[in-house]
Amino acid sequence: MGERMRIGVNLYPGVGGSGYLATRLGQSLAKRGHQIHFISYERPFSLMWEQTSGVYVDLVDRFDYPLFKTIGPPYTMALTSKIIKVAHDAKLDVVHSHYAIPHAMSAYMAREICGIPYAVTLHGSDVHTLGLDPAYRPVVKHAVENADAVTCVSEFLKKKAKEELGIERDIEVIPNFIDIERFSHLNGIRLTVESGCVSLRKTEDLQEIKPDEMILLHASNFRRVKRVVGLVEIMRIVVDHLPNTRLIIAGDGPTRIEVERKIEELDLCNNVHLLGIKSNMQEIMCSADVFLLNSTLEGMPLTLLEAMSCSLPVVTTPAGGIPELVRPGIDGIVTKGFEQDEFAEAIIDLLENEKLRKEIAASGRKRVETSFSAEQIVSKYERVLESVRK
Least Cα distance to 59 among 25, 94, 88, 83 occurs for: 83
Q: What is the pLDDT averaged over residues 195-207?
A: 60
% of the chain surpassing 90 pLDDT: 73
pLDDT at 360: 96
Residues paired with 151 in a beta bridge: 121, 172
Q: Are 86 and 383 in contact (CB under 8 A)?
A: no
What pLDDT, on a 0 to 100 scale, did the predictor assign at position 53? 86
C-alpha to C-alpha distance for 310 and 286, rounded to whole angstroms: 6
Asked if pLDDT for residue 195 goes beyond 70, the answer is no
Summarised one tens digit per residue, pLDDT across range 95-115 is 999 999 999 999 999 999 999
Q: Average per-residue pLDDT in the chain?
A: 91
Task: Name the strands in the sheet holding 55-59, side by side, starting at the edge strand that comes first in the sequence.
Answer: 55-59, 35-40, 6-10, 94-98, 118-122, 149-152, 172-173
Residue 210 pLDDT = 58
Q: What percent of the chain has pLDDT over 70?
A: 93
Q: How do the domains of the chain map onto residue ranges?
A: 6-177+373-388, 189-371
Residue 324: CA count within 13 A, CB half-sphere? 20
In single-letter form, the type of residue at position 37 comes to H
Q: Provide CB contacts within 8 A for 173, sequence distance 6+.
A: 151, 152, 153, 154, 155, 157, 158
pLDDT reading at 338 higher than 60: yes
| Distance (Å, whole) CA 291 – CA 303 | 9
Residue 78: Cβ-neighbour burial (10 angstroms; 0-12, 13-18, 19+): middle
Measuring CA to CA, how many Å separate 297 from each of 81, 129, 130?
Answer: 34, 9, 12
Q: What is the pLDDT of residue 278?
A: 80
Provide mean pLDDT across the span 180-189: 87
> Which of 131-135, 182-186, 251-255, 379-383 has the highest mean predicted lDDT (pLDDT)?
379-383
Q: Rounded distance, CA 249 to CA 227, Å?
A: 12
CATH hierarchy code of domain 189-371: 3.40.50.2000
Output the CA torsion 300→306→309→313 (10° steps).
-90
CATH number of 6-177+373-388: 3.40.50.2000
The residues pairing with 276 across neighbouring beta strands, listed in sequence order, are 250
Contact 100, 131 (CB under 8 A): yes
Query: pLDDT tens for residues 151-166?
Result: 999 999 999 999 999 9
pTM (two decimals)? 0.87
* pLDDT at position 207 over 60: no
pLDDT at 72: 83
Evaluate whether 321 touches 160 at the Cβ level (below 8 Å). no
One fold for 6-177+373-388 and 189-371: yes
Separation between Cα atoms, residue 390 and residue 383, nearest integer Å: 14
pLDDT interval class at 199 (50, 70, 90) = low
Element at 202 (helix H, strand E): strand 197-202
